[in-house]
Amino acid sequence: MSDEIEKTDDEWRAELTPEQYRVLRRHGTEPAFSGAYWATKETGRYLCAGCGAELFSSAHKFDSGTGWPSFWQPAADRAVATETDKSHGMVRTEVHCARCGSHLGHVFPDGPRPTGERYCINSVSLTFAPEE
């Protein structure tokens, strides 16, 4: 991707809140049902809290019952990237922002049609832009 963002660790620390830094740059997870967007039903776009890239649309959001915002697909094919995560004694697929590499959450194969995917995303990894 030609507009990839690279910053030093010190730059990320200076720009993000401590909780954003813990999740986005250190692959943390916020507690279930604690984030700002898990129950949001407004129409709009979900952007990366690290760089502002559009990641998800409210049109693809659904209530998974997990306590995290869940989407059945990203806003665009190349909005997010994935890699295998073998931490915590399990194998999962990590989702991160394709533009800045910030950790967003994980994707699981138990979502609704048409994709069957559930992008389980930390609210702190996102900012919400309501539809005007």
What is the per-residue DSSP string for 34-91? -SSSTT---SEEEEETTT--EEEEGGGEE--SSSS-EESS-SSTTSEEEEEE-GGGS-
Note the pLDDT of residue 1. 43
How many Å apart are CA 17 and CA 23, to the nearest integer? 10
Please identify which of the residues 48, 51, 100, 120 carries the catalytic annotation: 120
- What 8-state DSSP symbol labels residue 123? G
Note the pLDDT of residue 132. 82
Name the phi and psi angles at 19, rounded to 5: -70, -40
Q: What is the distance between the terminal CA atoms of the chain, rounded to a whole angstrom?
A: 29
How many Å apart are CA 59 and CA 71, to the nearest integer? 9
- Ordered by where they begin, the domains of the chain are 9-130 (2.170.150.20)
In this prediction, what percent of the chain has a pLDDT beyond 70?
A: 98
Banded model confidence at residue 105, pLDDT cuts 50, 70, 90: very high
Is the omega angle on the peptide bond into residue 109 within 30 degrees of 0, that is, cis?
Answer: no
Q: Is the pLDDT of residue 2 over 60?
A: no
More confident residue, 1 or 34: 34
Banded model confidence at residue 88, pLDDT cuts 50, 70, 90: confident
Q: Is 120 a catalytic residue?
A: yes
pLDDT tens per residue, range 26-81: 999 999 999 999 999 999 999 999 999 999 999 999 999 999 999 999 999 899 99
